[in-house]
Amino acid sequence: MAHRNNNSQTNNNNDVAKDPPENSEATEEENSKKKEQEELPPFEVVEGSRIPASSFMFQFKNVEYSSGRNKTLLCYTIERGEGQVFRGYLEDEHVSAHAEDAFFSNVLPQFLSSGAVSVTCYVSSSPCVNCAACIARCLRKNKTINLRLVVARIFQWEESEIRSALRGICSSGCKLRMMKSADYLHVWKNFVEPDVVLNEEGESEQTSEQGAFIPWEDLEENARYYEEKLAEIIR
């Protein structure tokens, strides 16, 4: 499965600082890289209304061993009682922030001031332990949220902590299920935009990924596989 790095940059106060060896270019380079990592923004998530088609096809593909798919894309629909509908998507920009945390901590609370809301999130993979805890807290605090979480892949489902976290969000009221062909088609129609490609004259032209959604060969087979795994976890 794709590994989403949940580690944040922290300083260990018990570590004793040591002077680097004299004339050590390798050590200076390591220190420079470390400083650059520490200066990365602690929280930065890309937000928009439409996902590039190629990004959707890669990140949402429901393969079992998802090499290279190390970011999370989350498409959301928020429906208010008065008939208002809001859509958008988030994606991880740095490993210290996850799209689910951003949505349930920063985005969704803006829509909770006027009664009950129905929320549907289509996510490229199921939440990590920390994001699952964030979702559960949000649902416990706001009893007026009706949440459906529809995921393409299950993140590290072999880990006992992950399995427990998924059971936790279900017990908090989240309706969790796997994406099927109809869900992919829905997301394609409502959240995906054509990739911008320029020809030699600098004019935009269509690519093969701009038309109707074309499912990959084993989409439904993989969906059934994940459905069985999810049923094992939350039963």
Strands 117-123 and 73-80: antiparallel
Instruction: Name residue, tokens 């990140």.
Output: 59
Residue 26 pLDDT exceeds 90: no
Counting residues of the chain whose pLDDT is more than 70, the rounded percentage is 70
Question: Is 217 part of the annotated catalytic residue set?
Answer: no
pTM: 0.75
Tell me: the pLDDT tens digits for 95-117?
567 899 989 998 999 898 878 99
Task: Return the number of other C-beta atoms located less than 10 Å from residue 164's C-beta.
Answer: 12
Catalytic member of 79, 100, 193, 203: 100
Query: CATH assignment of 45-193+213-234?
Result: 3.40.140.10
Return the pLDDT at 96: 61
Tell me: the pLDDT tens digits for 180-232?
999 999 999 999 987 666 566 655 555 544 578 889 999 999 999 999 999 99
